[in-house]
Structures are given as C-alpha cells and as structure tokens.
C-alpha cells in the first residue's frame, strides 16, 4: 500500500472576473493544472501476470480476475485537502491494445447505471447476480457462456469492493499520521464512508458522491480511458442533496465544494486530456415529463464556471419549457470565457430516440456520451461503429468523379460507377455518387460488425456489464448484446463541402456549360493549379450551404436523406439498428488532409466542413441563415445526434439585448427542428495573439469540437481551424 501527501505547487490565477475559489479548491485545482498526478504504476504487468495465472479460465473470467488483481495491487494515494478520494494510479491496457490491433471496436463511450450502485450498493448487485446462476446448467453447452458471464460480473463487482476497502485503510493510516485535528477528522470520515459505499446504499450527499467516484474509477481501471460519461448526475444526486439540506447536514456552499472536488478528480482521471470527454448531462425533461432543472443543476453549472475547464464536459439539455433564466446562466458563463456550452433539444432528441423503438420514459432519460452521442443511461450500448462509423460525403463525391478512383492518387477506393465523360446530366453524376455512398456504408457496416466480434472475443467488460440493465437478465456481456438497447452509431460529416461542390458542378457544368465535366475534373486533379481566378469565382458565385439558399440546401437535405436510407438497410451484429448522426469530431480536418481538391474551391489537403456547419469562410449571411439551412434537415430520426457550431464575437453577449437575441436564436433553431447547438465566443484577434504569445493566454477556453479545451493546448491544425471559423457579430 502506498499513501502519499502532495505538497503545495505553483498557483494558476484565473482571469479577473470577480469570482474567487474556496481555498481548498484552489489548492486542488492548482495541483491538477500543474499536472501533479503522482507516479503511475504498470497495469500491463499486473494484467499479464494475472492472465498467465488464470490462463485456463474463460476470457470473461480472466478479464474479471485481472481487474481484481489491479484493484488489489494498484497504488492508493490520498492527496492533501481531498474530500473525494481515489486515483487511477495505473496505466497500460495490453488486452485492449491487442484487440484494437486485431480490428476491435473502440472501447469506452458508455454510461453505467450509477444510480443503482448509489441507491442499492454492490452487495445487492452481487446477490442478484448469484441468484441467477442456478437458472443455468453448466453441463448444457448453451449455458456455459451465460455462467461465465454471471461469474465474471460477480468477480468484477467484488474487485470494486476491494478498491473501496483499500481506500478506507489508506485514509485511516493517513489519519493516524495527522497532527491537524480537522484534517484527521476528514480522513476518518472518508474511511467510514469508504467502508460503507459503494458496498451498501448511500444515505448522504457526500456518501453518494464517493460511491459514484469509486464506481467510476473501477470502470476506468477495467477499460481504456475513452469517454465513460456520468449520466444525469443532477437528477440522481438531487434526492441526497435535498435530504441533507432538509436535515441540516449540509449547506449549499458545502455541496458546491464537494462537487468541485469531484470535478477536479474527473479532470485528474484522464490527466487533463479533455478530448477523452467524461460528459455530465444536466437539465432537460424528466422521465415523467417535468422540468429537470433543479438547484443541483445550478450548482454543477457553477462548479464548471468557477473551475473553468477543469472537470467534465457539460451537456445542457433544454426543451420548450426550460426557463430563460437557466439559458442566461449558461450564456453568462460563455461570456466570461469559463467554458463554451453545448445545448441539446429534448423536443427533437426524444422523438428521434423513440423512432428507434425506445419507450418515451427511457427516451426522456437519455444522457450524452463523448462529444455528441445520446444513449439511454444505464441501459444502452450505442457506440460500437466507432471509427468505421465516421463517413464523409465529400469522399463519395470524389470517388464518383473518378469512377471509383481517388482524384489525387488514382487509387481504386470504390466501385466503378461510370466514366464521368458519359454523364449527360447532373442526375447521372448524382446516381454514381449514391452508388459510392451505398458501397461505403456497406464497407463500414462490415468493418464495424467484425470489430464487435473481436471485442466480445478478446475484451469483454464484466464490470460495465454488471452496471448495464439487461446484461444480468440475459446473462450476457454488453459487447454480446446484453444491454436493453443495442445501437451502432454512424457519424457523417462534410455535408457543407459536398453540398457546395454538388451545387457548383450542377451550376457551372450542367446548367451554364462553362466547361465539360472531364475538363472540370482535370482542374480538380491538378489542385486548381493555374486556375486561381476560377477558384475564386467558384467560392464567390456558387451557392453555399449555411446561407438559407434553397438551391444548395435541397442538395444537402437530399443527400442526408439518402444516407439515412442506406444506413437503415443494415443491422448490427447485436441485433440492433445502425443510427445516423451528423457530426465530425476532428475527422473533417484529418480526412481533409487526404481528400482531393473539391468543386467548391477547396484545395487538396484543406479541411472539410465541420458537422452540420457551413464550410469555413462561407457562412456569409449570419447565424440566422446558418440555422435555417441546418434546420431543413429532417432530424426526426437522427438518433445519433447532429451538431451545429455557432461562434460569436464576445461583444454580442455584453448587453442584455444581445443575450436575449441569442436566447431567441437558440429557441428558434430548436423550434425549427434543430437537435443540438455548440456555442463559442472569442475574437480572431485574441486567437491569433494566443498563437503568437501562448504564455499570455493559458486560460483561453474555446469550443474545439464536441468539447471545450484550452486553445494554447491545441495542435496547429486545430488552432488554424478555430481561427478560421466564422465569428458572428450579430444575431
């Protein structure tokens, strides 16, 4: 056992805005920003030794016993000032590295049933699992896998209990060394709490938070660190907060301090790598149809405001009944530059989930994982398509123009869909484009399903399966289809670039006949070399997505609908549907680097359009036009989300009128059918100065993609994209 105490470190002063942190929180926050994580142990060695010891066991059981070994051997550290304890002190996932090298679906991206652990405790979960074992006969070949699944879940839950016991021991040991009586009392209280939870039900707000955290930690110890999200924390913790307030056990200030301690643990958990988004979902409508905004919602928003970008990514659910007061609080935080909000439209997201046969009450209880994706908290596995699920509209258009070959390299990446010289009409080209789309979707489906086979064979996850409804009842790991809801997400991007390119080809080639299609394709192959005037004319005269121009918007809408129809033809290997989302994360930058010049005037290697946004530099008619274009897309079945990013000059939020105008814009977009908005506020001048003088802008927070992060921490290509995005000065 290792118990350490961390010393004071360099201070990180936040921008002056009249806001101060509690002294304890300031010290904890500074340690996190100073990357004072402590030494990290070798999880690989522990896991490999366990696998060797239990090599005769089934893979599921091997994984669970390896988790027990890690929870028994990992260093335990409790830092000075901490009121929530537990650190991920080991790194290295050889089993996941091996599985991904074999083509496994990406790990992570789920929300566990945290409320069940907090309200019932792991001992009750273990008892439920053990009571199911007699239903299966190990002599029956069809039952063997079910017995292995249940046993592995039991072993993994027992591992979480051991992790809690070791933290209780460490807290008591550290308390015995304390001269400060106040800190000694805190440590003894933490020891008491860890002896109680997560084994037993929590009864106080502090116990509930510690129960959540040890459970979350165990999940991250089991699996690689990618986007395990927190669910609707303001909903499932609110009864504990209310009870403590009523009994006089807690004050609002103390609750805020505890939440801020947790937010720092969440940041520390991924060593400040915000892109590994651990998202907390707040607000929105409750399963029984009430407004879910409560005092704890505001406390969590305040914690994120005060800690700036230290903590989880915050996904704010709203609906038509959400009060303006709540929206103003969110926008005020953006004006302060503390973090950049993302808001989700329950009035559209809930019906989209219902379209996939999810009952109303469960659909209303969705939470966000990763950057944009919805899932049903504690009941769903939605993310398995992962990297194969990222698909690019512009790539299919490029292949249609090249008869299945890339225009830049000449490599055959798609089927032969016709020599463009034989395309007499725009519809001929569009038919070839649809054929490339169908082939691309089919190829992604195959890769995603094969990746899932690798996943359930090599890296089942009994810890998470024990905390997903349906897995115990079916006696199946969630990777095998044990969850109640089994979806696989497609993420499509580049709609702006593709729609603009289609519109330009239709206008200049087929309608105005300024040149033949083969001539135009040759210009693209040559990356617009010697054609700068023409390229400029294309950018200036062609219609552009995001400007409320029906000529190009109809093409975008038609193309999205075609993709939805293609995806709906397929089923994932767990028996669930593939579902469409319109967002790109960073793929619009990465894929753009390998995509040939496009008909909208874009050069080879330049970024593609982001998510549902206009192409950077082409949103010329303001944010109202941008939302009108995006809202023409039917999102009624967009069950994997759809992101539109709007960035504003900060001065817009400096007045009550500007604030009210932005609230009206949000409500208008959502009333028109928009499903999600990402918001940001920063000037291009400030961004450019931050590139030149990063030491002066350490605390400059921007919306990066589906998450916010410090601008100066971004690589150059991301900084360039953020600078290039439209910064609207009016609504």
**pLDDT tens-digit readout, 480-496:** 999 999 999 999 999 99
Q: Which pLDDT score, from 0 to 100, does residue 724 have?
A: 86
What percentage of residues in the chain have a pLDDT greater than 90?
Answer: 81
709 φ/ψ angles, rounded to the nearest 5 degrees = -160, 170
Among 390, 389, 361, residue whose Cα is nearest residue 377 = 361
Among 180, 222, 215, residue whose Cα is nearest residue 197 = 215
Binned at pLDDT 50, 70 and 90, residue 3 comes out as very low
> What integer is the mean pLDDT of 258-267?
97
pLDDT tens sequence across 282-303: 999 999 999 999 999 999 999 9
| 659: three-class secondary structure by DSSP | helix
At residue 350, does pLDDT exceed 90? yes
At residue 17, does pLDDT exceed 60? no
Among 545, 427, 455, 424, residue whose Cα is nearest residue 495 = 545
> What integer is the mean pLDDT of 41-47?
96
Q: Which pLDDT score, from 0 to 100, does residue 1 have?
A: 42
| 623: three-class secondary structure by DSSP | helix
Give dist(CA 382, CA 376) in Å, integer. 9
Binned at pLDDT 50, 70 and 90, residue 18 comes out as very low
Q: Which pLDDT score, from 0 to 100, does residue 388 have?
A: 86
pLDDT tens sequence across 101-133: 998 887 778 999 999 999 999 999 999 999 999
Query: Which 8-state DSSP code applies to residue 285?
Result: B
Are the C-beta atoms of 358 and 376 separated by less than 8 Å?
A: yes
Q: Which pLDDT score, from 0 to 100, does residue 642 have?
A: 94
How much is the pTM? 0.94
**C-alpha dist (Å) from residue 287 to 102, 266, 518:** 40, 27, 56
pLDDT tens sequence across 388-425: 889 999 999 999 999 999 999 999 999 999 999 999 99
> What integer is the mean pLDDT of 519-545?
94
At residue 635, does pLDDT exceed 70? yes
pLDDT tens sequence across 664-712: 999 999 999 999 999 988 888 999 999 999 988 888 888 887 788 889 9
**C-alpha dist (Å) from residue 62 to 48, 93, 357, 654:** 10, 14, 35, 58
**C-alpha dist (Å) from residue 657 to 83, 628, 664, 730, 731:** 42, 22, 10, 11, 10
335 φ/ψ angles, rounded to the nearest 5 degrees = -60, -35
Give dist(CA 116, CA 306) in Å, integer. 30
At residue 13, does pLDDT exceed 70? no
Q: Which pLDDT score, from 0 to 100, does residue 227 have?
A: 83
Report all structural domains of the chain as residue ranges with CATH numbers, in order of start. 23-381 (3.20.70.20), 387-610 (no CATH)
Query: Burial letters for 623-647: b for 16+ Cβ neighbours within 10 Å, e otherwise?
Result: bbbbbbbbbbbebebbbbbbbbbbb
Q: Which pLDDT score, from 0 to 100, does residue 15 have?
A: 47
> What integer is the mean pLDDT of 543-560?
97
> What integer is the mean pLDDT of 510-536?
96
Which residue did the predictor score with more confidence, 33 or 149?
Answer: 149
Minimum mean pLDDT among 309-313, 472-476, 483-487, 674-678: which range?
309-313
pLDDT tens sequence across 182-230: 999 999 999 999 999 999 999 999 999 999 999 999 999 999 767 899 9
**Cα dihedral 194, 197, 199, 201 in deg (nearest 10):** 160
Give dist(CA 424, CA 510) in Å, integer. 8
The helix or strand, by DSSP H or E, that contains position 171, with its residue range, turns out to be helix 144-176
Q: Which pLDDT score, from 0 to 100, does residue 276 have?
A: 72
**C-alpha dist (Å) from residue 172 to 39, 85, 148, 186:** 22, 13, 37, 10
Are the C-beta atoms of 222 and 67 separated by less than 8 Å?
A: yes
Q: Which pLDDT score, from 0 to 100, does residue 225 have?
A: 67
> What integer is the mean pLDDT of 329-343?
89
At residue 623, does pLDDT exceed 90? yes
Q: Which pLDDT score, from 0 to 100, does residue 113 have?
A: 98
Q: 412: which strand partners?
A: 405
Burial of 649 (0-12, 13-18, 19+ CB in 10 A): middle
Among 19, 720, 630, residue whose Cα is nearest residue 302 = 19
Burial of 337 (0-12, 13-18, 19+ CB in 10 A): buried
Give dist(CA 579, CA 564) in Å, integer. 8
Give dist(CA 326, CA 301) in Å, integer. 10
Question: Which pairs count as long-range contacts for 138-144, CB under 8 Å and 24+ apart, including other chains?
Answer: none
Q: Which pLDDT score, from 0 to 100, does residue 4 have?
A: 39
Q: Which two tokens stand for residue 727?
A: 């910064």
369: left (phi over 0), alpha (psi -120 to 50) or beta: beta
Minimum mean pLDDT among 250-259, 427-436, 614-623: which range?
614-623
Q: CB-side exposure of 384: number of CA atoms within 13 Å?
A: 33
Are the C-beta atoms of 345 and 666 separated by less than 8 Å?
A: no
Query: Which 8-state DSSP code applies to residue 603?
Result: P
Helix axes 122-132, 144-176, angle to 10 degrees: 160
What percentage of residues in the chain have a pLDDT greater than 70?
Answer: 97
At residue 656, does pLDDT exceed 80? yes
pLDDT tens sequence across 438-452: 999 999 999 999 999
pLDDT tens sequence across 67-102: 999 999 999 999 999 999 999 999 999 999 999 899
Whether the bond into 543 is cis, omega within 30 of 0: no
pLDDT tens sequence across 127-186: 999 999 999 999 999 999 999 999 999 999 999 999 999 999 999 999 999 999 999 999
> What integer is the mean pLDDT of 577-592?
92
Q: Which two tokens stand for residue 107?
A: 């790990």
Q: Provide DSSP, 370-437.
A: TTTEEEETTTEE-BTTTGGGEEEHHHHHHHHHTTTB-TTT--B-S-----GGG--SHHHHHHHHHHHH
At residue 10, does pLDDT exceed 80? no
First vs last Cα of the chain: how many Å apart? 58
> What integer is the mean pLDDT of 49-78?
98
């Amino acid at each position: 056992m290792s118990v350490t105490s961390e010393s004071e470190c360099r201070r990180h002063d936040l921008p002056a805005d009249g806001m101060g942190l509690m002294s304890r929180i300031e010290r904890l926050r500074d340690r996190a920003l100073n990357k004072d994580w402590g030494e990290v142990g070798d999880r690989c060695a522990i896991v490999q030794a366990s696998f060797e010891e239990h090599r005769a066991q089934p893979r599921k059981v091997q994984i669970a016993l390896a988790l027990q070994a890690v929870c028994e051997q990992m260093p335990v550290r409790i830092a000075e000032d901490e009121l929530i304890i537990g650190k991920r002190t080991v790194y290295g996932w050889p089993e996941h590295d091996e599985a991904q090298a074999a083509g496994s679906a990406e790990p992570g991206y789920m929300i566990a049933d945290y409320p069940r652990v907090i309200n019932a405790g792991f001992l009750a979960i273990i008892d439920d699992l053990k009571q199911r074992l007699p239903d299966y006969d190990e002599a029956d070949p069809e039952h063997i896998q079910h017995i292995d699944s249940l046993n592995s879940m039991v072993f993994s839950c027992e591992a979480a209990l051991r992790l809690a016991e070791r933290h209780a021991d460490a807290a008591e040991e550290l308390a015995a060394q304390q001269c400060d009586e106040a800190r000694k009392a805190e440590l003894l209280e933490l020891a008491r709490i860890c002896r109680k939870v997560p084994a037993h039900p929590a009864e106080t707000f502090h116990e509930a938070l510690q129960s959540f955290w040890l459970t979350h930690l165990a999940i991250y110890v089991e699996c690689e660190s990618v986007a395990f999200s927190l669910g609707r924390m303001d909903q499932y913790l609110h009864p504990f907060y209310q009870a403590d307030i009523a009994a006089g056990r807690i004050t609002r200030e103390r609750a805020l301090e505890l939440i801020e301690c947790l937010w720092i643990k969440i940041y520390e958990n991924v060593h400040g790598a915000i892109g590994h988004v651990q998202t907390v979902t707040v607000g929105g409508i409750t399963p029984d149809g009430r407004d879910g905004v409560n005092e704890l919602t505001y406390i969590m928003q305040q914690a994120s405001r005060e800690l700036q970008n230290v903590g989880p990514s915050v996904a704010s659910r709203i609906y038509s009944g959400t009060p303006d007061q709540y929206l103003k609080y969110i926008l005020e935080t953006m004006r302060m530059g503390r973090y950049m909000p993302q808001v989700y439209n329950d009035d559209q997201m809930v019906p989209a989930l219902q379209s996939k046969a999810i009952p109303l009450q469960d659909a209303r209880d969705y939470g966000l994982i990763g950057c944009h994706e919805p899932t049903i908290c504690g009941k769903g596995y939605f993310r398995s398509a992962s990297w194969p699920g990222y698909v690019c509209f512009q790539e299919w258009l490029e292949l249609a123009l090249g008869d299945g070959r890339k225009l830049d390299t000449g490599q055959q990446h798609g089927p032969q869909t016709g020599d463009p010289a034989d395309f007499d009409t725009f519809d001929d080209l569009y038919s070839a484009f649809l054929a490339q789309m169908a082939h691309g979707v089919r190829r992604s489906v195959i890769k995603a399903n094969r990746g899932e086979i690798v996943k359930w064979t090599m890296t089942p996850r009994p810890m998470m399966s024990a905390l997903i409804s349906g897995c115990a009842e079916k006696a199946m790991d969630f990777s095998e289809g044990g969850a109640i809801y089994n979806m696989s997400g497609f993420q499509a991007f580049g709609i702006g670039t593709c729609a603009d390119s289609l519109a330009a080809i239709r206008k200049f080639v087929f309608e105005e006949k300024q040149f033949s299609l083969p001539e135009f394709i040759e210009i693209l192959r040559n990356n617009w070399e010697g054609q700068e005037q023409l390229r400029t004319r294309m950018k200036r005269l062609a219609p552009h997505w995001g400007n409320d121009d029906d000529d190009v918007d109809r093409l975008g809408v038609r193309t999205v609908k075609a993709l939805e129809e293609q995806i709906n033809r397929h089923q994932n290997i767990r028996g669930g549907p593939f579902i469409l989302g319109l967002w790109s994360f960073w793929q619009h930058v990465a894929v753009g680097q390998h995509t040939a010049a496009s008909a909208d005037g874009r050069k080879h290697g330049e970024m593609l359009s982001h998510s549902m946004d206009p192409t950077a530099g082409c949103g010329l008619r303001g944010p109202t036009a941008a939302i009108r274009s995006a809202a023409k897309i039917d999102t009624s079945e967009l069950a994997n989300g759809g992101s539109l990013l709007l960035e504003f000059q900060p001065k817009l939020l400096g007045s009550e009128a500007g604030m009210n105008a932005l609230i009206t814009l949000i409500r208008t977009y959502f009333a028109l059918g928009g499903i999600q908005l990402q918001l940001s506020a920063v000037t291009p001048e400030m961004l450019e100065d931050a590139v030149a003088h990063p030491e002066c802008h350490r605390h400059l927070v921007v919306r990066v993609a589906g998450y916010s992060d410090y601008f100066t921490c971004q690589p150059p290509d991301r900084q360039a994209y953020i600078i290039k995005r439209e910064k609207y000065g009016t609504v």
